[in-house]
Amino acid sequence: MIRLYDFDLSGSCYKIRLLLNILGVDYTRQEIDFVDKEHKTDGFMALNPFGEIPVFEEDGLRLRDAQAILIYLAGKYDPARTWWPTDPAAQGEIAQWLSTGGNELMASAGARLVKILNYDLDLPNLQNRASAAFAILNAHLKNHDWLALEHPTIGDIACFPYTAMAGEGGIALDPYPHIRRWLASMRRLPGFIPMPGIPGA
Amino acid sequence: MIRLYDFDLSGSCYKIRLLLNILGVDYTRQEIDFVDKEHKTDGFMALNPFGEIPVFEEDGLRLRDAQAILIYLAGKYDPARTWWPTDPAAQGEIAQWLSTGGNELMASAGARLVKILNYDLDLPNLQNRASAAFAILNAHLKNHDWLALEHPTIGDIACFPYTAMAGEGGIALDPYPHIRRWLASMRRLPGFIPMPGIPGA
């Protein structure tokens, strides 16, 4: 039985919900009160000492970090292995975008925390860093339908939510037509689910 | 033929040199003048628009991001698949530490850039964030010989250099005996190579 420590408004948690739904995997949600900082309580830090959501459990396995969870799920529950192929070169290509989703694009997540939860962070700096990453994504997507390979992978899922929700951090995506095309393609994937801030197709 | 765009003093590049040496893989180095910011020139940004080293090339494949390169190399050149096993749960466990090596522990890398290259960054903040990560690593290593699984993996390699070089960022490892034991184990690995700031066993 899979248990996901989850928060509705978290783009990082949504990455996991989205892949679980695409792959048709059942799971139980354990809602974490992120607004009230439940993820920084002793109880939650016993599950993940980094104090971050999501956390994933299945039988004896417990994983933190959205990107690590995507790797596990796509390796285990996608028999066709299109989301995380076994080929080393394909894994390397995808892993680049897992890193981007967990690093540079988290600046967009930070800007959103300032805007929607009044976090005391340097908003202009976060917006500038996110915009720099968006410019790179847009240039890449000019010549590619998906971030890695010729079809959607967990690299796309890792980069999707905090790009799609850039507006909630005060960053307009108007300058990035190729990103907007890619976001629309993501919304049309079989098994796509929306979240607050990311409407359906 | 493998080409590594490399800089001697970069811990991120050293991750790749270390795994290449452990696996006995030949390669050519292309030295990047990081001090003179060659990684921010148009020429280099054409290889990696994020403007970061290392960059890896082999035949038609080009990869950025140290962690992505580790995944590729261990998948391709370790026939025993101990450094990056094929099992999804093992990959998930390891990928958690790839993220830590590319995220939280980069605060230690940042502190080191302030100390050795006079970067204009918030040193106390970087040192505090790195120390928080070291405390988590130390607690984890109290009950584990290696970060993931029962043997060394690319998760250990990803976290090794900027932990080993904490002192160069002004962060003492005295409070972390389990980290110091793990660092000593890393230095005894067959195929280990030193770098400036990381002496041999």
Q: Cis bond leading into A199, ω under 30°?
A: no
A-interface mutation test, from B42, B58, B71, B153, most A Cβ less than 10 A away: B71
B-interface mutation test, from A16, A76, A91, A137, most B Cβ less than 10 A away: A91
- Tens place of pLDDT per residue across chain A (201 aa): 999 999 999 999 999 999 999 999 999 999 999 999 999 999 999 999 999 999 999 999 999 999 999 999 999 999 999 999 999 999 999 999 999 999 999 999 999 999 999 999 999 999 999 999 999 999 999 999 999 999 999 999 999 999 999 999 999 999 999 999 999 999 999 999 999 999 987
Residues of B in contact with A63 (CB under 8 A): 92-93, 96
Which structure tokens are listed for B77? Answer: 């050149």
Q: Is the pLDDT of residue B65 over 90?
A: yes
Which of B69, B93, B139 lies at the smallest CB-CB distance from A49? Answer: B139
**Predicted ipTM of the assembly:** 0.97
Average pLDDT over every residue of B3-32: 98
Banded model confidence at residue B200, pLDDT cuts 50, 70, 90: confident
Which of B88, B98, B100 lies at the smallest CB-CB distance from A75? Answer: B88
Task: Tell me the residues of chain A between 141 and 170 that have a Cβ less than 8 Å away from chain B.
Answer: none
The pLDDT assigned to B96 comes to 98
The answer to whether B72 contacts A92, with C-beta atoms less than 8 Å apart, is yes
Nearest CA to CA, how far is B112 from chain A (Å)? 19
Q: Is the pLDDT of residue B103 over 90?
A: yes
Do B157 and B96 form a contact (C-beta atoms < 8 A)? no
What is the Cα–Cα distance from A24 to A32, expressed in whole angstroms? 23
Query: What share of chain B has pLDDT > 90, as a percent?
Result: 99
A-interface mutation test, from B2, B40, B47, B50, most A Cβ less than 10 A away: B50
Residues of B in contact with A100 (CB under 8 A): 50, 65
Banded model confidence at residue B201, pLDDT cuts 50, 70, 90: confident
The pLDDT assigned to A40 comes to 96
Do B68 and A102 form a contact (C-beta atoms < 8 A)? no
pLDDT tens digits, B34-52: 999 999 999 999 999 999 9
Order of strands across the sheet with A2-6?
A: A28-31, A2-6, A55-58, A61-64
Residues of A in contact with B57 (CB under 8 A): none
The pLDDT assigned to A200 comes to 85
Which structure tokens are listed for B49? Answer: 């628009």
Strand partners, A31: A6
Query: What share of chain B has pLDDT > 70, as a percent?
Result: 100
Average pLDDT over every residue of B139-151: 98
Q: What is the mean pLDDT of chain B?
A: 97
Determine whether B162 is exposed, middle or buried from the number of CB atoms within 10 Å of its CB (0-12, 13-18, 19+): buried
CA-wise closest residue to B195 among B166, B161, B159: B161
- Answer whether A92 touches B (CB < 8 Å): yes
Element (H, E) at B54: none
